[in-house]
Amino acid sequence: MRLSLLSPLMAAAVVSARTMDSLAAIPKDWSVVRQASSDDKISLRVALQQQHTDALEQAVLEMSTPGHPNYGMHMTREEVRSYTAPSADATSAVLQWLRKYGITPEVDNDWVSFTTTVATASELLDTKFAWYQFAEGGSPKLRTLSYNVPDAVAKYVDLVQPTTRFGQLGAKRSTIFNMHRPDAAELAAMKATSFSVNEAPGTEAAAATCSPVNPTCLKSLYNIKYTPSASTDNKVAFCSYLEEYARYTDLQRFETNFLPAAKGQNFSVELVNGGLNNQASSDDSGEANLDIQYILAVSAPIPITEYSTGGRGPLVPTKDQPTPPGSNEPYFEFLTYILAQPDSALPQTLSTSYGEEEQSVPQEYALKVCNLFMQLGARGVSVIFSSGDSGPGNSCVRNVGKNATYFEPTFPAGCPWVTSIGATQGTNPEKAVSFSSGGFSLYHTRPAYQNAAVAPYLTRIGSTYSAYFNGSNRAIPDVAAQGVSFQVVDKGATSLLSGTSASAPVFAGIVALLNAARKTQGKAPLGFLNPWLYNNTDSFTDITTGYGSGCSGNANLKNGARWNATVGWDPVTGLGTPKFDKLLAAAAPGVANA
């Protein structure tokens, strides 16, 4: 056999490359629709390595830790960008690499974005793209199972996405566990067993029940009596995705039926990445209505903004519908948008009730998104996420290259720079809800602010389930709030919604109130919350009954699995549910809860 030799020209073309990410197989519940055409369009983002990431993390911890000399000293946009800026060599190397392939990119600090053809992207990243479909629906996605970057460039690059990033249903899923529209008989029974909206918070009648949940019972249960001014310098916001839009008419009816003191207050909308504000949409609006109505229920009259972020694109781009499929990554689209806003435009509290399995997210992607949330914390924004609605997990199968039993923490709740909210139900006592997600992150180590609270729990459970989670990682959730049977007006009718989707906006409303109280004393907003929360554990009611269950159908867990609510922190309700009067005293000493 004669061995052929590479020509000098061919040898010069062989470039040593680093595999940036690689999936062992197509993710569970995804299948190939077809191979990508060479002229399909694709939009990609390159994240350049930041020069001072560790220094920024330390600075955010210092400004967020009570008692530190830098507590409350948040950064401006330009100060944050000085930390996250790449080196000149990094920017130069990546731009030269892209231009060799005829790509004209856009540069924004540590991000480089561009649109090209699949043929060019395949050559650039030494990979093959295909269209993939998720079994439960949603639009097909243009993805690959691995990609490579030349060694000379890879040392400057954190990731190139969306490439190996497979998400469910347009990258996000609402954490509404259940939505039920009661019939006439159920509505009559609810009126007969529930208290009047005119009952004063804190009275025995108001505290009697939170089934179903309405604004008055929440304020009574959590002892919320403080009413702030409607200052435009303190704002609270929520994120809407998947073509869900909060409806003005539903809010008006909610105010009339359940919150007459806030009658007339509306919300503003900011459109991101082609997002809309379609008030005539026939699509679902339960999540968006739940968010606006229960942020308002707790925090009125503080101004509220909805960020409506687009990001699914057409099923398959055509000449008549050429929208680049790379636009279906709303996390990056939203976060880069909001971080680019001037300091005066930022909300001080941001609530999101969407998420997915952490294992469905490439580690490099999860880390980069988490870094962006940290940047929001640096600028004084409290970022709140629902923990999810699957207890320890759904199937509890680690399907990314392992196919072994393992609990399924959620993303982005597992990011240590966000505050994760679990769910409770009932009163006297309030107890954990079976769907409330929790556990331990796959990717993020446990932050120091959690050590004192989480370590006793791990000692208490010993080796129970120890093969199925990493107890040295970030623990989820941080705190909890009511999450079952919220009365929401949706499309003109009252519905009952349950899920950690309900818990997150309630807690966001509480944080907005605390920020309003701090403002009256000339104090900075709370910003990144977690060190402060874990420093004020006596400001929460410890939930010690109930459990979060999941893993049904797993062969190695024949009876499923459950996290129990117990004394101290636990992976169902975190530190517990809020005692507003104590939180207010800790956040703004001297401000009356009245």
Binding residues for Ca(2+): 542-543, 568, 570
Residue 27's closest CA among 209, 168, 177?
Answer: 168
What is the C-alpha separation between 532 and 529, in angstroms, rounded? 6
Q: What is the DSSP string of 392-457?
A: T-SS-EETTTT-EE----EETTT-TTSEEEEEEE-SSS-EE-TT---EEEEEEEPPGGGHHHHHHH
Q: Which of 40, 291, 389, 430 is catalytic?
A: 291
Q: Using the structure block, give the residue that is written with the tokens 């517990």.
A: 576
Contact call for residues 120 and 126 (beta carbons, < 8 A): no
Give Cα separations from 433 to 151, 437, 445, 480 (angstroms).
49, 9, 26, 10
- In this structure, the strands spanning 354-357 and 410-411 are antiparallel
CA atoms within 13 A on the CB side of 556: 12
Q: Which two tokens stand for residue 523?
A: 């104090």
Q: Is the C-alpha dihedral spanning 159, 161, 166, 172 positive or negative?
A: positive
Residue 581: active-site member: no
Q: What is the amino acid identity at position 521? A: Q
Reduce the DSSP state of residue 322 to 3 states and report it.
coil
Q: Which of 40, 158, 244, 287 is catalytic?
A: 287
Give Cα separations from 327 to 144, 181, 270, 309, 514 (angstroms).
16, 34, 18, 11, 36
Residue 501: active-site member: yes
Report the binding-site residues.
Answer: 542-543, 568, 570
Q: Which of 386, 501, 503, 549 is catalytic?
A: 501
Q: What is the DSSP string of 545-572?
A: S-EEEE-TT-TT-TT-EEEEP-SS-BTT
Please name the helix (run of DSSP H) or strand (run of DSSP E) that holds residue 352, with its range, or none: strand 349-352
Give Cα separations from 591 to 513, 572, 582 (angstroms).
11, 32, 11
Residue 327: active-site member: no
Contact call for residues 294 and 502 (beta carbons, < 8 A): yes
Contact call for residues 295 and 509 (beta carbons, < 8 A): yes
326 DSSP assignment: G
Output the CA torsion 263→292→529→544 (10° steps): 100
Q: Is the C-alpha dihedral spanning 267, 270, 272, 275 positive or negative?
A: positive
What is the C-alpha separation between 524 and 234, in angstroms, rounded? 10
Residues with a catalytic annotation lie at 287, 291, 501
